[in-house]
């Protein structure tokens, strides 16, 4: 990685001049300033404020980099982060990458497109006078957006970091799914259809593990024929119910409320009364879930708690004498459990 001193040598100026340009304090000609900024852009230089001591004191400002604030999970998390920061006398800047708005769900494996949006924002964050950053994902996965030598403290929110220096705050998918399926079993259901998202998705994998664990703990065998993989849409919930109902299921676990809506659609077409003839449980507690008929039993995501914990983690790191001390060998992961919401879509069999 290029250093500030090397930038100065390329531009034939002092390191102090480069530092002043970066921090908006340049007392130099417009030509020299533009030459320095061009070299910084061409070399991909990122100022390491902690290592180089370019900031005399903390600003008590943090940045949130959100993949898309229109994702249903994001507003509550952002509100919670901002509220906790306010309590601890910190200010917040929000950067919205708008990934879903730009490319819907086609960008997940498009590394070049992703970095074309992300990298300029991270450069802005590193160049600004902020103390740390929280990266807020739209869905849980392993994200490699920060290098191990990232120049300021960071927290990964609603996703997993692969860097030991960056803690992650996620929902306890497996534990929460196990609770939902256990509830179905306790109500007398033994053949439970699992309608999941994409098979490679971490949410799907963890919720399937919770489903399997609930079966095992209650002495029931796992039947792979009762598992259907969709794409998180209402339409895929409909297709999942259509595929699994002939397998003799008496209950469905739709691992998102949106897919559970599709399950409702198919079962109602078949003339089945949900909550009486057959049971349905969802996951997420989106606002639509209480307006289904009958209202959907589901589990609420701990979005407010995730935001609060993420803010506290970052601020606690910032308030250490040396934020680079005590970095663990493995990434720290904090899993926050969901809360069951009991409604009328599940009754005793």
pLDDT (tens digit per residue) in 67-81: 999 998 999 999 999
Site of tokens 């982060």: 81
Asked if residue 309 belongs to a domain, the reply is yes
Asked if residue 344 belongs to a domain, the reply is no
DSSP state of 346: -
For 187-224, how does the pLDDT look when each residue is reduced to its tens digit (9 = 90+)? 999 999 999 999 999 999 999 999 999 999 999 999 99
Same domain, 181 and 291: yes
pLDDT of 323 over the 70 cut = no
Q: What is the CATH number of the domain that holds 204?
A: 3.40.50.2300
Site of tokens 């807020």: 136
pLDDT confidence band for 49 (50 / 70 / 90): very low
Same domain, 273 and 195: yes
Asked if residue 207 belongs to a domain, the reply is yes
Q: Collect contacts of 340-343 with beta carbons under 8 A, ≥24 apart.
A: 340/179, 340/180, 340/183, 340/297, 340/298, 340/299, 340/300, 341/285, 341/289, 341/297, 341/298, 341/299, 341/300, 342/183, 342/297, 343/289, 343/290, 343/294, 343/295, 343/296, 343/297, 343/298
* Contact yes or no for 71/100 (Cβ under 8 A): yes
* Contact yes or no for 211/253 (Cβ under 8 A): yes
> Six-digit token pair at 94?
């929000």
Asked if residue 293 belongs to a domain, the reply is yes
Same domain, 16 and 119: no
Same domain, 18 and 138: no
* Strongest mean pLDDT among 101-115, 116-130, 237-251: 237-251
Same domain, 296 and 321: no
pLDDT of 174 over the 80 cut = yes
Q: Residue 253's beta-bridge partner residues?
A: 194, 281
Omega into 294 within 30° of 0, i.e. cis? yes
Asked if residue 198 belongs to a domain, the reply is yes
> Pairing between strand 251-254 and 298-300?
unpaired
Q: What is the pTM of this model?
A: 0.78
Same domain, 121 and 262: no
Same domain, 181 and 297: yes
Same domain, 108 and 121: yes
Asked if residue 213 belongs to a domain, the reply is yes
Cα 139–Cα 142–Cα 143 angle in degrees, nearest 5: 85
pLDDT confidence band for 104 (50 / 70 / 90): confident
Number of domains in the chain: 3
Give CA–CA dist 35/10, Å, rounded. Answer: 10
Q: Collect contacts of 210-215 with beta carbons under 8 A, ≥24 apart.
A: 210/173, 210/174, 210/175, 210/176, 210/177, 210/178, 210/179, 210/180, 210/181, 211/177, 211/178, 211/181, 211/253, 213/174, 213/178, 214/177, 214/178, 214/179, 214/180, 214/181, 214/182, 214/185, 215/181, 215/185
Residue 343 neighbours by CB under 8 Å, 6+ apart:
289, 290, 294, 295, 296, 297, 298
Give CA–CA dist 207/78, Å, rounded. Answer: 25
The boundaries of the domain holding residue 97 are: 61-171+303-336
> Six-digit token pair at 270?
């078949």
Q: Residue 297's beta-bridge partner residues?
A: 281
Give CA–CA dist 260/281, Å, rounded. Answer: 7
Asked if residue 84 belongs to a domain, the reply is yes
Asked if residue 50 belongs to a domain, the reply is no
Give CA–CA dist 187/184, Å, rounded. Answer: 5
Q: Quick one: residue 284, left, alpha or beta (phi over 0 = left, psi -120 to 50 = alpha)?
A: left
Same domain, 188 and 129: no
Q: What is the CATH number of the domain that holds 40?
A: 1.10.260
How many percent of the chain have pLDDT more than 90? Answer: 61
Q: Write the burial class of residue 335 (CB in 10 Å: 0-12 exposed, 13-18 middle, 19+ buried).
A: middle
Instruction: Give the mean model confidence (pLDDT) for residues 147-171.
Output: 87
pLDDT confidence band for 56 (50 / 70 / 90): very low
Same domain, 292 and 185: yes
pLDDT of 342 over the 60 cut = yes
Residue 83: other Cβ atoms inside 10 A: 14
Same domain, 12 and 37: yes
Q: Write the burial class of residue 265 (CB in 10 Å: 0-12 exposed, 13-18 middle, 19+ buried).
A: middle
* Contact yes or no for 41/34 (Cβ under 8 A): no
Cα 258–Cα 259–Cα 262 angle in degrees, nearest 5: 100
Same domain, 79 and 180: no
For 16-48, how does the pLDDT look when each residue is reduced to its tens digit (9 = 90+)? 788 778 766 666 788 888 888 888 888 888 765
Of 277, 296, 294, the residue nearest 342 (C-alpha) = 296
């Amino acid at each position: 990685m290029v250093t500030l001193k090397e930038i100065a040598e390329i531009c034939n100026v002092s390191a102090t001049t480069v530092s002043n340009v970066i921090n908006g304090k340049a007392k130099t000609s417009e030509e020299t300033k533009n030459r320095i900024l061009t070299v910084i852009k061409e070399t991909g230089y990122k100022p390491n404020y902690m290592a180089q001591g370019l900031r005399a004191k903390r600003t008590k400002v943090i940045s949130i980099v959100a993949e898309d604030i229109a994702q249903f999970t994001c507003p509550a998390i952002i509100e919670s982060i901002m509220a906790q920061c306010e309590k601890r006398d910190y200010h917040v800047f929000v950067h919205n990458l708008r990934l879903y708005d730009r490319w819907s769900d086609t960008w997940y494996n498009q590394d070049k497109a992703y970095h074309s949006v992300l990298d300029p924002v991270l450069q802005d964050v590193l160049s600004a006078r902020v103390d740390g950053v929280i990266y807020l994902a739209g869905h849980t996965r392993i994200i490699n957006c920060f290098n191990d030598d990232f120049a300021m403290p960071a927290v990964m929110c609603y996703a997993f970091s692969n860097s030991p220096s960056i803690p992650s705050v996620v929902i306890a998918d497996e534990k929460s799914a196990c609770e939902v399926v256990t509830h179905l079993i306790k109500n007398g259901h033994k053949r439970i259809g699992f309608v999941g998202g994409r098979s490679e998705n971490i949410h799907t994998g963890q919720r399937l593990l919770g489903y399997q664990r609930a079966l095992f703990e209650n002495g029931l065998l796992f039947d792979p024929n009762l598992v259907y993989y969709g794409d998180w849409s209402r339409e895929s919930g409909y297709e999942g119910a259509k595929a699994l109902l002939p397998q003799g299921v008496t209950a469905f676990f739709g691992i998102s409320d949106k897919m559970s809506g599709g399950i409702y659609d198919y079962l109602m077409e078949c003339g089945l009364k949900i909550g009486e003839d057959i049971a349905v449980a969802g996951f997420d507690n989106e606002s639509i879930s209480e307006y289904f008929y009958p209202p959907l039993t589901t589990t609420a995501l701990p979005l407010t708690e995730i935001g609060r914990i993420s803010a506290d983690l970052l601020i606690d790191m910032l308030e250490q004498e040396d934020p680079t001390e005590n970095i663990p060998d493995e990434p720290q992961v904090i899993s926050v459990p969901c809360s069951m919401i009991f409604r009328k879509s599940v009754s005793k069999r």
